Amino acid sequence: MKKGIDWKKYKIDYFYDELISAAGNPRVAGRQLVNHLASLSAEELENRRQTAEATIRQMGISFTVYTEEGNIDRAWPFDIIPRTISATQWQVTADGLKQRLKALNLFINDLYHDQNIIKDGVLPAHILKQSKNFRPECVGVTPPYGVWAHICGTDLVRDEDGKFYVLEDNLRVPSGVSYMLENRAITKRVLPELFEHDYILPVGDYTAQLFATLSSLSPRKIKQPEIVVLTPGIYNSAYFEHAYLAQQMGVELVEGSDLVVAKDDCVYMRTISGLERVDVIYRRIDDLFLDPEVFNKDSVLGVPGLMRAWQKGNVALANAPGAGVADDKVVYAYVPDIIRYYLKQEPIIPNVKTYLCDDPKQREYVLANLDKLVVKPANESGGYGMMVGPHATKTEHAKFARLIKANPRNYIAQPTLKLSTAPTLVGSGSLEPRHLDLRPFILQSRELYVTTGGLTRVAMKKGSLVVNSSQGGGSKDTWIVDR
């Protein structure tokens, strides 16, 4: 019989590796996994990989990439080697994520009411004034429980010290949770043996938790509030996820044209029996497309009058419009202070060191160190419009220097992190370290909930730090292992 993975040959360089601590030595949470992989021959491993690939194609797990030639539906790139995290470490991280979302929601609610945080001098007034995602239409509105961001996807990275840091908070329409659930479904088919030995915490309760969160927001206190998932349609990159979540929750998946706001300022959907009242909308379209009467006039994705219905409290929107004000990379830099201000607690998970180009001193440092820093626009997501200094050309450095000078408020910079790695299958049957991050999902309404682990995204290219699926990243199942 041929030998399996030789862990002595797995080179971890100077990064923190999620599975292996030193040549050949597995971390505690990954011990079973490492032994099991060592027992599989290269052919067997390749077979498992092909099973995973076939499963993904059959299940039609796909995402859409926008290109100049049109939209391409790609199969979900998946690496079969799971990423392991110990349950004890995860517990602390989960507490930190809850703490963070709780503070962010207090912050958003404050911004749309008294703005005490500005009056008390914790957040400079000009930062709010120049925020692209502050919506004056939301001022004075109090959504149920004072919560604006009900569903949050927070990106975590591990640096070389092995500690988790928050890279960004996604409070608008974070996506990826369906892939987290599907990754587990695939792994159970591909590596079923491993689930016998270790206790790998299940992830499957997310949709039930999401359903409970959404139900609790209903303006009508009835037994079965009508909940819908609002999608921009089949051409959206996350359409797969929208359909998946609607199906898993047993609620309707609607498009803007299925909904109508009637004279009573309530939202209804068009059904075969006529109009049906809608109580809660899990909307997966951006603020600016929600309501052509208020925002983007040309939007055909939204529903005319939706903002009116929401302002009057006749329908709940999750996430609430305007929640994105806290999902701004400049505001991000203030989150530790925001936690201290509202909760009188020290942040459990630290931020990544962030330079605000808005501040003359910090800008000077950024401009002088463009080759060492990662520069990001304040309001983009999906890895668009950013520059990884050490991997960029001189021309790109010059271009970003111009961009920063022209609009300093719109840029932040962070040191290039030594993102942790995990073994990833490359070629036939051999493993190499690839960089990854982690996106857990946090829910808040009456209560707080954190997914068990989250979506691990991995940069499939050697040395690359970009994990976004739109930019060639893949993903792995994430195991929280309780031993």
Partner 1 sequence: MTQIMLSRVAERVYWMARYLERAENTARMVGVYANLLLDMPRGIDLSWYSLVDINDTGEAFNERYKNRDERNVVKFMLADDTNGNSMLTSLKMARENARTSRDVVPQDTWEIVNELHLFAAENIQRGINRGQRHHYLYEIVKGCHQISGLFANSMNKDSASEFIRLGRTLERADMATRILDAGAAVILAAEESSTNISQIVWGNVLRSLDAYQPFLRDERGPVTGPAVARFLLANELYPRTVLFSLNRLGKALARLPHSSEPRQIATVIKDRVIAFDGYQDLGTSFRGYMNELQLQLASLHDCFADTWFALERNDD
Footprint of partner 1 (CB under 8 A): 57-60, 226, 234, 243-244, 246-247, 250-255, 257-258, 260, 268-276
Whole-angstrom distance, CA of residue 8 vs CA of residue 24: 5
Sheet hosting strand 355-356, strand order edge to edge? 355-356, 411-415, 373-377, 387-388
| Nearest residue (CB) to partner 1, 55 versus 130 | 55
* Distance of closest approach, residue 283 Cβ to partner 1, in angstroms: 16
Count helices and strands (H / E) in the chain.
14, 25
| Residue 135 φ then ψ, to 5° | -110, 105
* Distance of closest approach, residue 68 Cβ to partner 1, in angstroms: 23
* Distance of closest approach, residue 253 Cβ to partner 1, in angstroms: 5
* Distance of closest approach, residue 153 Cβ to partner 1, in angstroms: 22
* Distance of closest approach, residue 371 Cβ to partner 1, in angstroms: 46
| Nearest residue (CB) to partner 1, 229 versus 412 | 229
Q: Which helix (H) or strand (E) holds 75?
A: strand 70-75
| Nearest residue (CB) to partner 1, 217 versus 246 | 246
* Distance of closest approach, residue 254 Cβ to partner 1, in angstroms: 6
How many other C-beta atoms lie within 10 A of the C-beta of residue 136? 8
Q: Report in angstroms the alpha-carbon separations of 225 from 167, 215, 216, 251.
A: 36, 6, 9, 10
Cβ(322)–Cβ(276) below 8 Å: no
Cβ(46)–Cβ(61) below 8 Å: no
| Nearest residue (CB) to partner 1, 93 versus 187 | 187
Q: Fill in the amino acid letter for 7.
A: W
* Distance of closest approach, residue 200 Cβ to partner 1, in angstroms: 23
| Nearest residue (CB) to partner 1, 227 versus 465 | 227
| Nearest residue (CB) to partner 1, 67 versus 273 | 273
| Nearest residue (CB) to partner 1, 272 versus 406 | 272
Provide the 3-class DSSP secondary structure of residue 157: strand
Q: Report the b/e string of 451-483 with b at 16+ CB within 10 A.
A: bbbbbbbbbbeeebbbbebbeebbbbbbbbbee
Whole-angstrom distance, CA of residue 245 vs CA of residue 167: 26
